Structure 1
Amino acid sequence: MRPLRHGYTNDTRGDGATVVKRYQGGIDEALRRATELAVLERLPPGLPVPRVLSVPEGALQLQHLDGMHGQDLIDEGLARPVLRKCGELLRRLQQVDVSAVFPDTTPGTGWVVVHGDYGPNNMLFDQDTFRVTGLLDWEWAHPGDRIEDIAWCEWIVRRHHPRHVDALDELFAGYGVRPSWARRQQAAVARCEAFVERFRNGPAAARRTWQEHLAITRAWTEAA
């Protein structure tokens, strides 16, 4: 199996038929693996997620999904159709019964299924129609506020594709609503703060990286 592109934390390899994801990163590998396994097995049919084929020690063997990586399409100047589909799929995901995916969710919270790292960085697309063919990497999934994933998708664009910030209108058009900038920025800041805390006693380089992300995110204005 060959290493797959766009794998930043884990060792992910594929052969065109299956993908083996081995969890790395120095922190909470077992928890992240268990989370992804549980979520993939509980999500309802119809969502473009890989099937779990087997559960090797420290890894998951997953169905290979065809498609072009979202970040590659954005780099080719196709941010608008990609982000439109990101918004549309997130709207569908937030209609899933959260208690079916996370049975311990307290009723009446208004929470939804949160992917936890939602954006073109974890999505595959049909190159002709831009239909989403894969929503990958569910290791950060949890029940939570619906603002989290839409704010993080925006964060991915602002942080990694700043030349395409003007295409974010399509994300909100596909999603069907544009939450206030204050709420979106607050959610992105909270996510960065969580990563800073996660690496407080972990690798120093990772902690510095997230401290930098946090400072930049706090300084943003919506027009920036």
Structure 2
Amino acid sequence: MDEVELRGGFVNVVVRQGDAVLRKPGERAGFVHDLLRLLAGWGGAPRFLGVDADGRERLGFVDGYVAWERPWKPTVTSTDALHSVGRLVREFHDLTAGTALAGDQEVVCHNDLSPKNTVYTDDGTRAIAFIDWDIAAPGARIHDIAFICWQYADLVSLDRAVPHWKALLAGYGPVDLTALVPTVLWWQSRAADGIDAQAAAGDQAMRHLRDLDIPNDIRRTRTWVEAHADELQEAATAQS
């Protein structure tokens, strides 16, 4: 059966073959495969189908719209879509809480949640699954919650950011948000510095991101969040 390359990947080449997606496994493939087996009865993640003769992992194809490049469909930042993102995160966190995969941590975190790693309904109004679980690991709920508050919201003005955060957090439901803004800032610093460091070490994918000025874009967004930290934290705490 013919293979068709799927667009949108910055790090890995991904192809579709019928109802399966084929891709090179990540460094923590064993953990990820166990996680996908755990989530097999849940519709919010691809099914793990095994490994092919070339060593590529085979995953079930999830049909829908993936917001892998801007401009996104406007519906991706609608209240309904953002609420559905928060709800999906809550669902998989709750499914992993107390499991051997979570270990001594609260849950398993995805650690790279963003519209480009989300499958939406074709019209972009509802998130139905998350993809690219390569860096999933045990962690605290707030890690993924802070990440989605960074990645899915328009952090350009309080008029945009606050409603977006409220929709995401309402979808997730009750949780301790005391460390939300500090964790957003931690993620942004970690991401920008990490891209620069890996690019300097010769990683081609990270060099591409550096050439696109992504690290400095992240730092500019971090400066904005830091400047409005009190307002954002107050809005988040009021939501909880």
Residue in structure 2 matched with residue 117 of structure 1 by the alignment: 112
Instruction: State the TM-score, normalized to the length of structure 1.
Output: 0.76
Do structure 1's residue 13 and structure 2's residue 15 form an aligned pair?
A: yes
Structure 2 matches for 1:72-221, cutoff 5 A? 75-78=72-75, 79-80=77-78, 81-100=80-99, 102=101, 105-106=103-104, 109=105, 111-127=106-122, 130-157=125-152, 165=161, 167-176=164-173, 179=177, 180-199=180-199, 201-203=201-203, 205=207, 208=210, 211-213=215-217, 215-221=219-225
Q: What TM-score does the superposition give when structure 2 sets the normalisation length? A: 0.72
**1:54-90 C-alpha deviation (Å, 9 max, x unpaired):** 2134421111111111457972211122211111111
Q: Give the letter for the 1:186 counterpart.
A: W
1:54 partner SS: strand
CA separation of 1:147 and 1:60: change in aligned 2, threshold 3 A: same
Secondary structure of residue in 2 paired with 1:50: coil
> Does the alignment pair 1:66 with 2:63?
yes
Could you say if the C-alpha distance between residues 206 and 43 of structure 1 is closer, same or farther in structure 2, counting changes exceeding 3 Å?
same
The structure with higher relative contact order (CA 8 Å, sep 6+) is 1
Instruction: Tell me the SS of whatever aligns to 1:100.
Output: coil
For the pair 1:39 / 2:38, whether they are aligned, the reply is no
Runs of 4+ that moved beyond 6 A:
none
Worse overlay, 165-174 or 77-86: 165-174
Deviations 1:103-158 (A, max 9, x none): 6x23xx4x211001112221112236944332111101000111111222222235
Q: In percent, how many aligned pairs have the same letter?
A: 23
Tell me, yes or no, if the aligned pair for 2:191 and 2:215 is still in contact at 8 Å: no
Structure 1 CA distance, aligned partners of 2:125 and 2:32?
A: 25
Q: 1:97 to 1:75 in 2, by over 3 A?
A: closer
CA contact (8 A) 2:46 2:61 kept: yes
Query: Does the CA-based 8 Å contact 2:188-2:219 persist in structure 1?
Result: no
2:235 matched residue in structure 1: none
2 CA distance for matches of 1:197 and 1:172?
Answer: 32
Deviation by residue 1:5-36 (Cα, 9 ceiling, x = unmatched): 2222100011441111125xxxxx4x143343
Q: 1:26: which partner in 2? A: none
Distance 2:109 2:194 in 1: 15
Superposition RMSD in Å:
3.3
217 and 60 in structure 1: CA distance in 2 versus 1, 3 angstrom threshold = same
- Kept in 1: contact 2:121–2:128 (CA 8 A): yes
Q: Number of aligned residue pairs: give it.
A: 213
SS of 1:215 mapped into structure 2:
helix
